């Protein structure tokens, strides 16, 4: 027997994902109230949502700089989005920070390689998954514009 979709269940899923109430409700309905299935559905739909936004203009963004440890390694990332509203959003800023930390830790050869890397804080997901989750949460197209990594030279 399927679980009744209550506001508490929707709130629990929203709190766990940060995704809109309606998306959470639809995922729970499709999953017949099963929280694990609803999470899997939301993860799958985040890729589809990202694909639909690929043609939108990126007119805003945020630059985050990260310096690791005792100042021997640093990284800077330019994260692009559609509006200033999202660029100021905490979800977007946290994503920029996480990506800058990833760059400092792994020194990827290019953006495509970076997107495919396992996330340093959770090896079960890759960077493209983090970006797709942020796209689903903010409702805007998000891309890494460029990045730089610096390591103290030994001369």
Q: Considering only CA atoms, which of 28, 30, 26 is closest in space to residue 9?
A: 28
On whether residue 1 sits in a domain, the answer given is no
**The pLDDT value given to residue 123:** 92
Residue 116 pLDDT exceeds 90: yes
Domain of residue 42, residue span: 7-52
Q: Answer yes or no: are the C-beta atoms of 125 and 119 closer than 8 Å.
A: yes
Radius of gyration from C-alpha coordinates of the chain: 18
Q: pLDDT band for 1, please (50, 70, 90 cuts).
A: very low
The DSSP line for 49-75 is HHHHTTTS---EEEEEEEEETTTTEEE
Say what percent of the chain tops pLDDT 70. 92
Give dist(CA 148, CA 78) in Å, integer. Answer: 9
Total-model pTM: 0.72
pLDDT digits (tens, 9 = 90+) for 34-59: 888 888 887 777 666 666 666 777 88
Most confident of 24-28, 57-61, 149-153: 149-153
Q: Are residues 79 and 42 in the same domain?
A: no
For residue 13, give the 3-state DSSP assignment.
helix
Phi, psi of 37, deg, nearest 5:
-65, -40
Give domain status of residue 25, yes or no. yes
Average pLDDT over residues 83-90: 95
**Mean pLDDT value across the chain:** 89
Looking at 52, 70, 85, which one is the last position of a domain?
52
């Amino acid at each position: 027997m399927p679980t009744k979709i209550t506001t508490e269940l929707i709130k629990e899923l929203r709190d766990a994902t940060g995704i809109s109430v309606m998306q959470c409700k639809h995922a729970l309905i499709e999953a017949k109230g099963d929280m694990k299935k609803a999470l899997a559905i939301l993860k799958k739909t985040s890729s589809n949502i990202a694909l639909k936004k690929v043609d939108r203009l990126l007119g805003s963004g945020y630059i985050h700089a990260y310096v690791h440890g005792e100042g021997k390694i640093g990284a800077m990332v330019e994260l692009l989005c559609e509006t200033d509203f999202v660029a100021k959003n905490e979800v977007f800023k946290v994503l920029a920070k996480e990506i800058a930390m990833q760059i400092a830790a792994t020194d990827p050869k290019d953006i495509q390689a970076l997107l495919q890397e396992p996330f340093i804080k959770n090896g079960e997901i890759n960077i493209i998954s983090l970006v797709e989750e942020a796209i689903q949460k903010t409702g805007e197209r998000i891309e890494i514009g460029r990045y730089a990594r610096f390591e103290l030279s030994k001369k």
